Each structure stands twice: as C-alpha cells, then as structure tokens.
Amino acid sequence: MKKPIIKNLIICALSITCALLTIRLWFGNFLIHGLFPGEPLVAASPAHQRMAGGMVESARMTVNYDDGQNYQVVYSNLLHHEAWDISMRAISALIDEGSFYNSGTAAILSTNSIVIEYNFAMPTGFFREQFGQRPGFLSSVFGSFETLVIMPQNEIVEFFFVSDVDGNTSHAFALADFEIYKEFREYFESRTQIDEYGYVVDVVSEIFWRNPIGDNMIHATVRPFVLFFFPNPAVASDGVTINGVYTYKDSGRVVKFYPNNMVEYNALENTRPLGAISLASSLLAALDMLDRDAAAMSVLENPMNDVFLVGYSTGPEMGQWNFYFDYVVGGRPMALDDIDAGILSHAVEIRVINNTVVQYRRLMLNFFESAAEDGL
C-alpha cells in the first residue's frame, strides 16, 4: 500500500517542479525580482545581477578624440561600443589591482579620454561589487560619484571619479596595466573620426513616428501586447472600452491604452513589507519594467526605441522614486517638444514605491530617422 502512495507523491512533486520551471521559463527573470507587488527582490539572484549591470549601463558616454574637438556622445547601445568594452575591462582591472593616489581638483584633459556620466549619485560600494572583489577599495575614499573620466597617458590608465556632493572633488586612481593602456591607445589611434555612433552628424535628417499597433487600434491587436504586463495572462480581463480608453485588469493591476498613444500600467495594491528603499533597488525595478515592455513590443515585431535615463526624483510618498526616460533616435536623445504627449513630460515615466513599480507610463510611438530628401 505504501508504494502507490510514495509513487503518487513523487509524481505530484515532479508535476509541481515542472509547473514552476515552465512558469520561470515563460516569464524569465520577471518573477524573480520584484516587478509586481508582493514579490521578493532576491539580491543574489542572476536576474538581480543582470539588472545591476543595467544600472551601470544607465549612463551617457562621451569619447574625446584628438584635441577634444572631435568627439562622440553615446546614449544607448553602450554594450556594442568598443570604447565601452575596453572601459569596463579597465574598471575591473582597476578594482582588482589599481591604486588610489589623491583627491582634489585634478587637471582632467579632454584629449583621448572617455567620460561616463550618470544622472544620479552612483554608490561606490554598489559600483565596486559589479567589477571586483576588493571591499572598501573605493568606498574607503569616497561614498558616491556622478562622473567617471578614464584617461590613458604615460603608459598607465588614470581614473578620475568626480563627486558633485563633495564640491566637484575628483578622486584619482591609477592602473599600471600596459596591455589595457595599449588597447586604449590603439583604439584612439584607429578612431580619429566620428563614426555611426556620433552625436554630430553631417546628413540632414528628419524624425518620423507611428503607433506600432496601428492607427485603428482594436482589442484583438492590443491584447497580445497588454498581456505581457500581467504575471498570469490567463486571469487578465478581455478588456473594455471606456471613453475610447482600452482597459485590461486583474485583481492586482490595470493596463490602459489612451487615444493619445499613451499606455499606462497601475498596480492596484502594494503588499510588499517595507524594506531597504535605495536608489539602486528602485532603479532595478524600473529597468525590469522596461525589459517587460521591450518583450511586449517583440510581439508586434516592432521593437521599442532605445531609452536614456534623463533623471529621477523622490516622493511625495515615503519610499517613492520617480524615473524619467527619453527615446534615443539616430544616436541622439529626443525630447517631446514637438509632440502632443498629453500629461507626459518624457517618453517613459516610472513610479516605484517600496521597490515595487506602481505606475508606468509610456508614449506608445516608435520613432525613426530618415533623410530629409527621402521623406516618410
């Protein structure tokens, strides 16, 4: 009699395991790290680490060539830029084997340098954790920074961490790694002209836009996109139309499409217990929501434009962080000055409370660049 019972228990356990693996496969990293109310943020999970890398990439990079008059400003696709790749490897080497030599007002040259700027104070402890294993290497000197300047010269690579909080103080570090120094020198010598990533362009072009779902939206075309915002699409409503607004919901969230091309997500409840409310963890949740939106756009076979973090604010509620992103088109950030964006001041606005995304708004338009003479 015991064997059938044991067998049934094993079958039951295997069934549950398969179900959990299927859910994880289908929803990827989204279930792991706190996109929705009540879900734990697991700091050690691979998903959290991946998004931590996303936080490090939420920057603007300027590459200065020659005398500093020839330069590139890169707002998106940083991972695909050779200068970014060399810089990240140089930072890792600095954390592992570099040295600190002074703090003060340093003479930072624009010639052959890479400038990485963040729209927030990057905590040194968090930053160090993404690159190396020497606890306290940066944080023993300073607590945060907004700008990092990397300069190869005199056969070493110099790093200047600039902190606005400390009165624009520059904290200088050095890396005596000739191989990395040589990589930088070879890169600068081979890239004396602005390439396709350049902010300055010679071709006069125009920006056009369209709603990727189409001008005549119907529930049948909207619904596949909407369901990516729900952890369990099966329980989402079929949708109703109220004053031209398409609305979908379940017990925990509601997603709306407005006639002015705006999509809005709102959490109906926030059940997560109060914990550490840091900029890092809040931004991770916001970036996770952008990932989910990008996955939703893939259903339409029309990927979302790259976005660039332009700023953030706090409050008014306790534990609230608000993040603002603009689209990047043709390698340049695009403001919404000439577009009727309704209540939006930026292309994407995300409100995070207690490490949970409680509101997400995005201008549902895709932008593309075309030569002026070609037209639309």
Q: How confident is the model over 218-244, as a mean pLDDT? A: 77
Second CATH level (architecture) for the domain 205-371: 2-Layer Sandwich (3.30)
Q: How confident is the model over 120-125, as a mean pLDDT? A: 84
Confidence band of 24 (pLDDT split at 50, 70, 90): very low
Q: What is the DSSP string of 107-176?
A: ----TTEEEEEEEEEEEHHHHHHTT-S-TTTTTTT-SEEEEEEEEEETTEEEEEEEETTTTSEEEEEEE-
How many alpha carbons lie under 13 Å from residue 16 in its C-beta half-sphere? 5
pLDDT for residue 197: 44
- Is residue 232 pLDDT above 60, yes or no? yes
Domain residue limits, the chain: 82-190, 205-371
Q: How confident is the model over 17-46, as a mean pLDDT? A: 36
Coil, strand or helix at 54: helix
Digit-coded pLDDT (tens) for 48-102? 566 567 778 888 898 988 655 678 888 877 888 899 999 999 999 999 999 998 8
d(CA 123, CA 125): 6
Contact 299, 63 (CB under 8 A): no
Digit-coded pLDDT (tens) for 260-291? 788 899 988 765 556 557 777 788 888 888 88
Average pLDDT, the chain: 75
Which of 38-47, 111-120, 133-142, 268-277 has the weakest average pLDDT? 38-47
- Is residue 29 pLDDT above 90, yes or no? no
**Whose CA is closest to 163, among 174, 151, 175, 172?**
172
**pTM exceeding 0.85:** no
Digit-coded pLDDT (tens) for 291-331? 877 777 776 666 678 888 888 888 888 888 899 998 888 77
Mention every residue, 6+ apart, whose C-beta is less than 8 A from residue 35.
Answer: 231, 285, 288, 289, 292, 356, 357
Confidence band of 338 (pLDDT split at 50, 70, 90): low
Q: What are phi and psi of 312, to 5 degrees?
A: -155, 165
pLDDT for residue 94: 95
Cβ-count burial of 257 within 10 angstroms (0-12 exposed, 13-18 middle, 19+ buried)? Answer: buried
- 365: which 2 tokens? 């338009």
